[in-house]
Amino acid sequence: MNLSPLQKARYEYSPKLPAMLRGGISEITVNVGAPTQSVADQDKIKALFPNTYGKNEITFVKGSNTSAAKKQVVGVILSGGQAPGGHNVICGLYDAIKATDKNNVLLGFKGGPSGLIDDDFIEFDDAYINAYRNTGGFDIIGSGRTKLETEEQFKIVTEVAKKHGLTAIVIIGGDDSNTNAAVLAEYMAAHNTGVLVIGCPKTIDGDLKNEDIEASFGFDTATKTYSELIGNIERDANSAKKYWHFIKVMGRSASHVALECALETQPNICLIGEEVAAKKMSLAAITNYIADSVEKRGNNGENFGVAIIPEGIVEFVPEFSKLIAEINELLAGSKTEEFNALPDWDAKYNYIKKGLSAESFAVFDILPQFVQQQLFLERDPHGNVQVSLIESEKLFSEMVKNELAKRKAAGTYKGKFGAQHHFFGYEGRCAFPSNFDSDYCYSLGYNAFMLISYGYNGYLSKVSNISKPAEEWVAGGMPITKMMNMERRNGEDKPVIRKALVELDGKPFKYFEEHRKQWAVETAFTYPGAIQYYGPAEVCDITTRTLALEKG
């Protein structure tokens, strides 16, 4: 392997652990807290998880280790999209396993949950693990999006676990993956397999959080990476002074990434999907909001700016959501083939016009043609519109362009408008993890093994107080069922972990709200620069603006 100087240096970085996890495995004991209940639908969740529901929250503290000594053979999988720091979760897990007993074993199942089903794995050793310390990506064993949710899958996983003598399985993933972890944990308990299941909270989108999980890992690094790029673009815009840059960032279901990047870079515009939904903003209202900033700046001789747009913004627009629902119905079942067989766009356009309600067609008709066509690209596995394929950054720049043409004709807009488009997604998912994510992820992995050694099942590895220096972090665990509620999925009520949306009365949004009017008109850009690994702690170990504001 050809190593960059940075990669060599990152191998030498020693992640910081919370104080109670330092000093040796033999000095860690458990403080048992209160019993828990799910965030909603308590009776239904309890009925579905009779063996794992209502368990106590726990924290680890200094004291004599009272866990039962036994050989541990642990399996680990990476599930879902990549997030910086995943390798360090595995490294922390490995180090804790070997520190307890060098004969303990860690097996990495390849390609996500399917690796457990296919029995495709590698046994980790020091040399293999050392090549991935403090590095980005999930390439140590790969990831995948197979869901573990059927009785047949659970039986196969149980047989694989029995074959290798697994005592525990650690699932590193987001809300869906940890929901699957909870269901698998319940199955293992109900069938007395003796196999424990532990989850670790991962997603760069930041929507796996609550009063216990202050941040999912990867959010810190990804938002710093995007903010560096946005800052570079802001500097370019302020240099050339001739383009508006429309930047789409990750975040299908929540706007945490967009908000954090706005707090870091102070762009002229940042759309927050949750606010759009709360105010029932139409496409026209959003267009006018952006155009007002462009007009004021243009009339002041500043024909440039930056607008940040979350990936899932159109799903928050009520009229657009209704349109998507009608399109899903229009092309249900075999109707997709009928539609695709039409000879050209004109024929398809007429088919759409006949099939939609007048209200939804009016929305459809104001969209640029390229967006209209994107709504009818390949469907997802459930036959629905793939909203992530819609280039919302181009949609809004085109609609703003048309609105400005009207204003120019009316004599109110005197500037010039040119647009550039960007989508920052994959750029942030596998970056070298920041010091924060390196430390946080290593702690999550180390902590996961402590949960295993004390016999906890269906728990999420939890490290809290993370806005403080690492030595003040608190390690422990919480039952995954505490985060769950019932939601309608594909026509059925399913137990799922509740997604955390941007809170419009929360401190991060309120700070943004207080300053955005100024940012919309003035050039108040800030340039975060590259993630710094070496230097003063106040630069290297600084937390996200979101977490700093939330924790005061």
- Positions annotated as catalytic residues are 205
Q: Distance between CA atoms of 434 and 124, rounded to whole angstroms?
A: 24
The CA-based diameter of the chain, rounded to the nearest angstrom, is: 80
Q: Are 117 and 77 in contact (CB under 8 A)?
A: no
Three-state DSSP string of 209-228:
CCCCCCCCECHHHHHHHHHH
The kind and range of the H/E element at 307 are strand 305-310
Q: Distance between CA atoms of 304 and 242, rounded to whole angstroms?
A: 5
Q: Distance between CA atoms of 303 and 240, rounded to whole angstroms?
A: 10
For residue 471, what is the DSSP state? Answer: G
Q: Distance between CA atoms of 470 and 221, rounded to whole angstroms?
A: 16
Q: Distance between CA atoms of 262 and 176, rounded to whole angstroms?
A: 27
Q: Distance between CA atoms of 310 and 253, rounded to whole angstroms?
A: 9
H runs (alpha helix) in 411-506: 426-429, 435-453
Tokens at residue 205, please?
């989108």
Q: Distance between CA atoms of 530 and 9, rounded to whole angstroms?
A: 16
Q: Comparing C-alpha atoms, which of 78, 211, 185, 54 is closest to residue 136?
A: 78
Count of H-run helices and E-run strands, the chain: 23, 16
Three-state secondary-structure class, residue 168: strand
C-beta atoms surrounding 56 within 10 Å: 16
Q: Are 78 and 111 in contact (CB under 8 A)?
A: no
Q: Distance between CA atoms of 140 and 552, rounded to whole angstroms?
A: 37
Compute the Cα dihedral for 12, 16, 20, 23 and give only its sign: positive
Three-state DSSP string of 159-186:
HHHHHHCCCEEEEEECHHHHHHHHHHHH
Tokens at residue 385, please?
């519109």
Angle (CA) 541-423-135 rounded to 5° is: 35
Q: Are 273 and 315 in contact (CB under 8 A)?
A: yes
Q: Distance between CA atoms of 344 and 365, rounded to whole angstroms?
A: 17
Q: Distance between CA atoms of 101 and 402, rounded to whole angstroms?
A: 67
Q: Are 355 and 272 in contact (CB under 8 A)?
A: no
